[in-house]
Structure 1
Amino acid sequence: MSNEQPIGFIDSGVGGLTVVKEALRQLPNENIIYLGDTARCPYGPRPAEQVIEFTWQMTNFLLDKKIKMLVIACNTATAVALEEIKEKLPIPVVGVILPGARAAVKATKSQRIGVIGTQGTIKSGAYEKAIRLKTSKSDVFSLACPKFVPIVESNEYRSSVAKKIVAETLLPLKNKQVDTLVLGCTHYPLLRPIIQNVMGNVRLIDSGAETVGEVSMLLDYFDIAHLSDNKKPQRAFYTTGSTRLFDEIANDWLDIEIAAKHIDLGGKN
């Protein structure tokens, strides 16, 4: 395997760009390929079997691009498909749940941890399990936030509508006195200022950003990090949905000029 091969990132839509943003900061020499399945987003309400099928379709697309590592930058897909994909691929595969859980356990002082995510992620109990593996002391309060992903995907994450929806949705968590809140969906960091404002003095954990630390460690462990060679790193972005909307959000969030390519993964919507 060549160290110049790209790292592949997959997500149900634009959410995984929050992970890429951190990768561009921490791993500036790496070549990156990103695929967002915006046409079939959100994954949260879908049955697990369908999420696994879609995740495999995205994975196979990136394997054809000769990636050296796969980052499942989607909590819903991590919750249901990570183990199966990890087992079958010859390259390292990283999900976003364990790093987020680990960071939450490290951050909490009161042992009261909140987790917000899609219906699929919350239903899977993946965060509670991951946190329980690290400590039996913490109380975990989970809340599904099904309206958050559509706000981000429609590029309305700075709107007054977003503020209203976030405030209403997070109401049940307000009286749980959590001191740490895991943003258990890679779309949610785009709503971070609003979430922080609603939750007040609560430490927010960006599970996607935490994942990049793990990616960096694995690149070193497997000796596949791409060291500086004065070549401009390659960045390629693919989406199954509107390239215009994807580019708007990506340019705004990553602060680099992006022209995503549209692809069709086939299969049913």
Structure 2
Amino acid sequence: MDKRAIGVFDSGLGGLTAVRRLHALMPQENIIYFGDTGRVPYGTRGRDIITKYARQDVAFLRQFDLKSIIIACNTVSAIALDLLSEENDIPIIGTVEPACRRAMTMTQTGRVGVIGTAATIRSGAYEKYLHKKDGTLDLFTQACPLFVPLVENGRVHRGDVVIETIVKEYLTPLKDAGVDTLILGCTHYPLLEEVIGDFMGPDVTLIDSGAEAANLASTQFDPNEGTGTTQYFVSDDPQGFDQLAELFLQEKVDVGAELVDISRY
């Protein structure tokens, strides 16, 4: 039995989709979540700034006695996973590899789409991994920079003409390309699964990258026992975080997020 907590971080609320999966898989685990809500989104930033922010996020989490950290942010996973793994003596789990593994098992046609932030798509991390593992795959990528701010403002529901219009604009090229598997390469995007699924159609499998990272984490270490607790920390607007957290976690929860001055780390 390992009573140490699991650390999870993201640029904002999106990483809560990974926490949701952790709660389902490992309700006995203690979780420390940090959402960098004061600097969201990361996906529009340059590589050096993203790396700086990621190091600060990890430094904050390492104040706690952790057995692993999940980078519930595809942008950081795509750009800084190797560096963070080298700099830390506990497992650092990203989203890119587990999402790619799932996509490779699900595609029937070999036509795989990837959507993500501008930084994630620009990094080429998904193409590099997938082509290394299976050079026969046809890959189609699309940056979706407006998705994160819309999700962070709760614009995620069917019938919302704004999000439906943006989904159509971004995803039409992937639909026209005939992808049968679509990696949601940002942990915010599972909140758009219904809208994206409606547009892409029932024959396209959607891969939740945050959930896949949680699935991988569940196989990596000895579980805790009993009932776990989750603590939430943010770098700005804890009240706003509390109000939207239930949407991401899809459960009634007393979040009580605490404010952190992340610039100190």
- TM-score calculated relative to the size of structure 2: 0.95
The code of the aligned residue for 2:181 comes to T
Q: Could you tell me how far apart the structure 1 residues matched to 2:131 and 2:170 are?
A: 25
Q: Could you tell me how far apart the structure 2 residues matched to 1:39 and 1:197 are?
A: 32
Other-structure match for 1:250: 245
Give every structure 1 segment of 4 or more consecutive aligned residues whose post-TM-superposition deviation is greater than 2 Å. none
Structural mapping, 1:118-267, within 5 Å: 118-158=117-157, 159-200=160-201, 201-219=203-221, 224-226=222-224, 228-229=225-226, 232-254=227-249, 255=251, 256-266=253-263
1:17-51 Cα distance to aligned partner (Å, 9 max, x none): 01000000001100001001111111111001100
Q: Could you tell me how far apart the structure 2 residues matched to 1:115 and 1:17 are?
A: 21
Tell me the number of residue pairs that the alignment of Structure 1 and Structure 2 aligns.
259
Establish whether residue 42 from structure 1 lines up as the match of residue 37 from structure 2: no
The code of the aligned residue for 2:247 comes to D
Gaps (5+ residues) in structure 2?
Answer: none
Q: Could you tell me how far apart the structure 2 residues matched to 1:166 and 1:261 are?
A: 33
1:168-203 Cα distance to aligned partner (Å, 9 max, x none): 221221210000000000000011100101111211
User: Residues 114 and 126 of structure 2 are in contact (CA less than 8 Å); yes or no, is this contact kept in structure 1?
Assistant: yes
Q: Secondary structure at the match of 2:113?
A: strand
The code of the aligned residue for 1:135 comes to D
The code of the aligned residue for 2:96 comes to I
1:93-133 Cα distance to aligned partner (Å, 9 max, x none): 10000000111111000000000000000000000111112
Q: Could you tell me how far apart the structure 2 residues matched to 1:187 and 1:252 are?
A: 11
- TM-score calculated relative to the size of structure 1: 0.93
Q: Secondary structure at the match of 2:220?
A: helix
Other-structure match for 2:57: 58
1:67-111 Cα distance to aligned partner (Å, 9 max, x none): 111100000000111000101111111000000011111100000
Which is further off, 208-217 or 142-151?
A: 208-217
User: Residues 102 and 134 of structure 1 are in contact (CA less than 8 Å); yes or no, is this contact kept in structure 2?
Assistant: no
The alpha-carbon deviation at position 160 of structure 1 amounts to 3.0
Gaps (5+ residues) in structure 1?
Answer: none
The code of the aligned residue for 2:235 comes to T
The code of the aligned residue for 2:210 comes to G
Q: Could you tell me how far apart the structure 2 residues matched to 1:241 and 1:71 are?
A: 21
1:209-253 Cα distance to aligned partner (Å, 9 max, x none): 11112101111xxxx321x23xx4221001112112211221233
Other-structure match for 2:79: 80
RMSD of Structure 2 on Structure 1 (CA): 1.2
Q: Percent identity?
A: 42
